[in-house]
Amino acid sequence: MSYLQLFEQHEGTLNKALDAIRSRSFYAHWPEPPSGRIYGETAQEDGLQSFKSSLNSAFTFPQKDSSGTVGSEQSPYGFPLDISYPAFSADDLIANAQSALSEWKQFSTKERAGILIECLERASKHFFHIGFSTMHTTGQGFIMAFQASGPHAFDRALESIATGYMAIDTFAESVQWTKPMGKMQVDLQKTFHVRPKGINLTIGCSTFPIWNSFPGMFASLITGNVTIAKSHPSAILPIAICIRSFQETLIDLGVNPHVIQIAIDDASQPITLDLAQRSEITTVDYTGSSSFGNHLEQVLQGSKTELFTEKAGVNCALIGEVESLDAVLDNLAFSLSLYSGQMCTTPQNIYVPKDGVKTSEGIVSFDDICTKLKEKVDALVFNEKMGPGTLGALHSPAVMSRVEKAKASGLHIIRDSASVQHQGFDSAISCSPLILKVESADQAIVHEEWFGPISFIIPVDSIQAGITAMSDSVKKHGALTTLLYLQSKELMSLAEEQLIDAGVHVSFNLTGPIWVNQSAAFSDFHGAGANPAGNASFADLSFVSKRFNVIGIRKP
């Protein structure tokens, strides 16, 4: 089968993705339920056995030139993975990438699209293996791990492929150009060549090792670049399964497997900065803590490297006017509890008018709002069926240390945190949400990012004051999400105006099974790239267009 025939095979998938991107309507190529009716009756058990087979073993890749081994992953559910991985030096990674780049950039955009979608389709057969691997490296509950690292992440990859294809396809590749000049004319044959920037480095994170990596990787690949996925030392296995599958597919298709490589290290001998500062690396994608992201920005300042960041910030919520307080607090309690708050989209600062919240049944006092939110969180986390799977486990002891530091701040504790038992995993590191009361929006503690199950309820003089506090916080400290509960059209318009100006996405009045933490591929832009929380958005046109240049050729 030729590469163009491969494109034709997947053209329907690409066109559906393009339609969804343009319309921003719902589209999911891979179904999100881990259902046996969808993926096969034995798929989950087969995936679990594949994960167990990965433990206490050596993981191999088609990728060549390894030097030694690394690997020290620990399941947040209480056991070591004991997997050794081949280590690859920066020199070998760069040499492999340069060789692959000379071949990859010769493919047309259609050929690259066909090859990349085929890579995704084949790797999707490993969703359950990837899901259990994500669960036991990040601490996510299984259903979330399956969805986030499987269907949702793969949809984000397809979205980046389609967005890159759309950006390149916007302009004609060639034209017979004629300029009338009175009795004469000028005729030129013009062709336009997409020149990829070169080698991409995507720096993975510990909490969402695939979902956060795929957008940058596939935006780079579709635009003719090659990519190196730098895995986080604590979450190697999920991305390793994907990279091995991709490389095997590329070999099967007769393509250099080093188009997509993996870089693996451990915390004692990190290679991230060494790779990022190599002159051969032309684009870097980073998702993770603001502290390392800021350091990366400083290190690369003045270089020719294009840096795409999705750092973190101080996400805000405001409860001002509600129709059904129970529905609102149920929704917010789930958002605070999901994956123990270890999401870059989890609300941290919750503003509440000190004179209370307007509801359909009258004013509910500030103190009652605090009490009722505590009760809603209690009802969720102490539910034996819902609680453990929703909370998951803490991905590292550092999160627990952060919780203890917040407890010791002297703030009034609205809801104390506590461990939650996970059936079958007695040693799991778990912690339910800690909710603290802050007396003023001006207190310095709320201007910090407290990644994990930590949130603050803050009294404000009025709804308008709360909106202003949110806007100021976004401008100074960044945010990926804001959530407001308002009924007045005037107040909603005021909030939209101020928060759009601050450069952050806004959600209003979410209740039921849709939460502010979620970002839907093909429809939601993840991150705005317009505030200190990051300069990139998954996946607007700038996310792909900065990865290539267009070079024109003119001939008479």
| Beta-strand pair 83-88/66-70 | antiparallel
Tens-digit pLDDT profile for residues 229-240: 999 999 999 999
Task: Give how far the C-alpha of residue 247 lies from the chain's centroid of Cα atoms, to the nearest Å.
Answer: 23
Average pLDDT over residues 1-18: 96
Domain borders along the chain are: 3-24+38-171+198-311+536-555, 316-508
Look-up of token digits 């790779």 = 275
Contact 116, 161 (CB under 8 A): yes
Q: DSSP per residue over 346-390, as a string? A: ---EEEEETT-EEETTEEE-HHHHHHHHHHHHHHHHT-TTTHHHH
Mean per-residue pLDDT over the chain, rounded: 97
Tens-digit pLDDT profile for residues 425-468: 999 999 999 999 999 888 999 999 999 999 999 999 999 999 99
Tens-digit pLDDT profile for residues 14-65: 999 999 999 999 999 999 999 999 999 999 999 999 999 999 999 999 998 8
Tell me what pLDDT residue 441 has.
Answer: 87
pLDDT greater than 80 at residue 133: yes
Average pLDDT over residues 252-270: 96
Tell me what pLDDT residue 67 has.
Answer: 86
Distance set, CA 223 to CA 10, 251, 283, 364 (Å): 18, 20, 12, 54
Tally of CA atoms within 13 A in the half-sphere of 437 that contains its CB: 17
Tell me what pLDDT residue 488 has.
Answer: 97
Tens-digit pLDDT profile for residues 139-179: 999 999 999 999 999 999 999 999 999 999 999 999 999 99
Contact 119, 245 (CB under 8 A): yes
CB-based contacts of 4, cutoff 8 Å, min separation 6: 108, 110, 111, 114
Contact 376, 177 (CB under 8 A): no
Tell me what pLDDT residue 23 has.
Answer: 98
Which numeric CATH code is attached to 316-508?
3.40.309.10
Tell me what pLDDT residue 1 has.
Answer: 77
Distance set, CA 128 to CA 244, 501, 503, 543 (Å): 15, 42, 37, 30
Assign 3-state DSSP to the chain and report helix, strand, coil percentages, each to 5.
45, 20, 35
What's the rounded Cα separation, in Å, for the pair 75 and 47?
17
* Predicted structure pTM score: 0.97
Tell me what pLDDT residue 203 has.
Answer: 98
pLDDT greater than 80 at residue 290: yes
What's the rounded Cα separation, in Å, for the pair 139 and 77?
7
What's the rounded Cα separation, in Å, for the pair 50 and 45?
9
Contact 233, 267 (CB under 8 A): yes
The alpha carbon dihedral of 308, 312, 314, 316 has a sign of positive
Average pLDDT over residues 407-416: 97
Contact 223, 195 (CB under 8 A): no
Which of 169, 157, 64, 166 has its CA nearest to residue 118?
157
Tell me what pLDDT residue 239 has.
Answer: 98
Tell me what pLDDT residue 66 has.
Answer: 85
pLDDT greater than 80 at residue 516: yes
**Structural domain 3-24+38-171+198-311+536-555, CATH architecture:** 3-Layer(aba) Sandwich (3.40)
Amino acid identity, position 231: S
Question: What is the DSSP-derived secondary structure letter of residue 470?
Answer: H
CB-based contacts of 152, cutoff 8 Å, min separation 6: 32, 211, 521
At residue 315's C-alpha, the angle toward residues 314 and 319, to 5°, is 130
Contact 468, 524 (CB under 8 A): no
Q: Cis link prior to 530 (omega < 30° from 0)?
A: no
Tens-digit pLDDT profile for residues 178-215: 999 999 999 999 999 999 999 999 999 999 999 999 99
